[in-house]
Structure 1
């Protein structure tokens, strides 16, 4: 019986199928099937009932599950206490929102590679709603998103927020009329978009033109070109303001700051993922003070 077989067994149990376990472990479905078959042959028992409802644990499988979880816990303890970080091999599936990708993500990747040189990082940039679903479906290991995620199975490391500010082109304009321009902001199906939309409609009526975008860098460029105004993170807009490409203005209100979290599933416990979340907090704190 090998550690890989135990990990595969637990993945199939937790994800309720070979397909999702294969995706989570970055293996093919036949490889998962072979590992389970070899484990059953080693133990000389059937661990799963295969049927139309998927793979269901047998009584022997239920018995093995308890021991497998204990074995997994001890393995994590050894990794945390004994193995040097630069000797840890692994695969981190990292999901981040675009605000993070446009700010301190490069610093996070650099720190992770410095601590875990053998770590393979798979990156996915998407809106927070999608990242939340991917995490709960175990399609990613660590999600840095608008959070925290209110689920009993999820651990959240709360990160520093991003203050929002209003931006317009630097060309002369009457600030009193700026709110009549199209408003560029976050993509649909995101919390910032919903909040901005509600506040705009409340103050100016439903005739306001909203241009949602999944690209914050595109929003800044469109503002620079005078094609609209935008409410976006101040830390990301600083470079554009400092170089005179755009300017801030104050309509008398702005949405609440964006709150982010580094979120991951509490089970199975992973020293590497927990460390990555703590590094994300350290990097975010450093960036927010810069």
Structure 2
């Protein structure tokens, strides 16, 4: 009788869904030879070939297609067992979590704390990057969960909406709001890095207001933007949630030039397959943390 184990079936499903050994290895945190060995052992145990291997890729054989249906049923049963019976305190493994800097500066530490409390043996790998890179990492299965400017219009991706981040204009604390509002476009405007949606939308808005007569200074560090504003080296359009502590400390001030870009809309994104109780729990926990964070800020 053929002897099959969970590792072999999960590896088989990963190769099928991701279209090859390389992506499956990345998703499973294995080497490519290890993935190849598991598939070979599975074929030896079943005494049949599961894939036709050609220069264009790997295609399921008829027996491979039969196994796929059984493997998906087995995977679903395993997920039910994990959901209903496994103690979260005993869950081991790795969660590859990607987030935009706005999230990292706000409530990401609270999320990591809660995840560690629920899954004390879980290894959490953090990546902070722009949304475009996070999207690529998620689609390439290099990330399990991505918190980015979304949603992602991909059929394979689940999106969980988050509360919006309002943007505001900031200037040095010792400058009057009236003076800044009258001449703010003569100053460098500090904001999000290039190749991001906030940068592009702000650039379009500034062009509507002043034509080409403005200086837009992108930065990969939002905290650096606030320090430059504090030093009176420019004005900035940044999230109010991040600027509030600087304003309360008297280091910078808000001003109103009569317009502000639309709020930033972030989304928690993760792949729909294979289903993972751990990833779904982390996604819903992230939303709870985000809602609590925005509620606390709005009550200040």
Shorter-chain TM-score category? Answer: over 0.9
1:117 and 2:123 correspond: no
- For this pair of structures, how many residues does the alignment match? 290
**CA shift at 1:153, angstroms?**
1.2
Residue 200 of structure 1 is aligned with which of 194, 199, 206? Answer: 206
TM-score by length of structure 1 reads 0.97
**CA shift at 1:171, angstroms?**
2.6
Partner residue, 2:272: 266
**CA shift at 1:179, angstroms?**
2.1
Matches within 5 A, 1:38-49: 38-49=41-52
Partner residue, 2:245: 239
Tell me the alpha carbon deviations over residues 62-88 of structure 1, each in whole angstroms, 9 at most, x when there is no partner. 111111111111111110011111122
Q: Secondary structure at the match of 1:264?
A: strand
Runs of 4+ in 1 over 2 A off after TM superposition: none
1:8 and 2:1 correspond: no
CA distance, structure 1, for counterparts of residue 50 and residue 156 of structure 2: 25
**CA shift at 1:54, angstroms?**
1.7
Residue 220 of structure 1 is aligned with which of 226, 229, 240? Answer: 226
1:91 and 2:94 correspond: yes
Q: Secondary structure at the match of 1:46?
A: coil
Matches within 5 A, 1:128-207: 128-173=131-176, 174-175=179-180, 176-207=182-213
CA distance, structure 2, for counterparts of residue 6 and residue 225 of structure 1: 58
Partner residue, 1:75: 78
**CA shift at 1:58, angstroms?**
1.2
CA distance, structure 2, for counterparts of residue 123 and residue 17 of structure 1: 26
CA distance, structure 1, for counterparts of residue 73 and residue 12 of structure 2: 13
CA distance, structure 1, for counterparts of residue 85 and residue 117 of structure 2: 19
Q: Show structure 1 runs of 5+ residues with no match.
A: none
**CA shift at 1:227, angstroms?**
1.1
Single out whichever of 74-83 and 85-94 deviates more from structure 2.
Answer: 85-94
Partner residue, 2:129: 126
Partner residue, 1:30: 33
TM-score by length of structure 2 reads 0.94
Tell me the alpha carbon deviations over residues 121-169 of structure 1, each in whole angstroms, 9 at most, x when there is no partner. 1111111111112212211111101111111111111111111000011
Partner residue, 1:282: 288
Tell me the alpha carbon deviations over residues 222-255 of structure 1, each in whole angstroms, 9 at most, x when there is no partner. 1111111100000101111111111111101101
CA distance, structure 2, for counterparts of residue 120 and residue 45 of structure 1: 37
